[in-house]
Amino acid sequence: MPHTVWSGAISFGLVTVPIRVQSATEDHSVRFHQIHTADGGRVRYRKVCELEDREVPQSEIGKGYPLTKDMVIPISDDDLRNLPLPTAKAIEIVAFVPLDSIDPIRIGDGYYLASDGPVAAKPYKLLARALARSSRVAVAKYAWSGRERLGLLRVRDDVLVLHAMHWDDEIRDPDSLAPAPAAVTDQEIDSALALMDTMTRDNLEGDDLRDHYTDAVQAVIDAKREHHPLPAAPEPEQPAQILDLMTALNQSVAQAREARDTSTECAT
């Protein structure tokens, strides 16, 4: 069962929905330890008090705000739990908006919200059904990990999902990254659209969307464990030097169509 990372309630007007927050994603990356290359010994980080010059256990470690170079204000977990904020113990819905009105760059990690207890079942289902029928998403505020955050609430398979969101002032202005002025013809745009059409698919399934990096790392680990030769790295394809944009687009369309036709034949 997924670990509960936070518990509280959704505040929807005068309606309160007790919930438990659980991560909606899993990280399947291969993890490494740091080792001493000379003998394979594990290299670890130790937490040392600068004043006493000794390692301290986790039970003696707390939070502190550096007011000046020499003065730190201690802040306890109880201080943060009892902040004078309505969002300290609740996910407070503040607005409902169309999903396409939110720039995807603002949307972060997702969390499932599970109803907490029998009393939560009806208001939970009410909010989920109303959100689904409205074709809108809810914008909410909540306080986790020492800061107030902005979130997006939506429905996935009858389950409420909370996405962390960035505040406006956390999004960097991309103006400085804009390319230099360049003329683009309608014919070039049409060719780019034709390439997009050949690469369009109905879903995000397929072997080309697997995590091949993790598979390759695991193959190296398995080979070393069995004292076998390491898997050979494939020779990278050398792209042809094409200086004309239209030629590159047209050849890309042809290659994409050929790859799609080959994939269709294999599937049948």
Q: Is residue 10 located within the same domain as residue 131? A: yes
For 157, the token pair is: 């398979």
Environment class of 248 (CB within 10 Å of its CB; exposed 0-12, middle 13-18, buried 19+):
middle
Shared domain check, 207 and 158: no
Query: Does residue 144 share a domain with residue 188?
Result: no
Domain extent at residue 13: 4-28+82-169
The answer on pLDDT for 144 being more than 90 is no
Q: Which of 143, 138, 130, 133 is nearest to 161 (CA)?
A: 138
Closest among 160, 148, 111 to 10, alpha carbons compared: 160
The region of weakest confidence among 2-16, 207-221, 242-256 is 242-256
Do 194 and 241 share a domain, yes or no? yes
**Domain membership flag for residue 43:** no
At 103-117, the pLDDT tens digits run 999 999 999 999 998
- If you ran DSSP here, which 8-state letter would residue 10 be given? E
In the chain, how many domains are there? 2
Structure tokens at 137: 């998403």
H/E stretch holding 108: strand 107-115
For the chain, percent of residues with pLDDT exceeding 90 = 44
Please state, in angstroms and rounded to a whole number, the distance separating the CA atoms of residues 81 and 251.
Answer: 60
* Residues 96 and 227 placed together within one structural domain of the fold: no
Q: Report whether 137 contacts 151 (CB < 8 A).
A: no
Q: Is residue 65 part of a domain?
A: no
Together in a domain, 21 and 102? yes
Tell me, what CATH number does 108's domain have? 2.40.290.10
pLDDT for residue 15 is more than 90: no
Say if residue 93 is in the same domain as residue 225. no
Q: Which of 139, 169, 199 is the C-terminal boundary of a domain?
A: 169
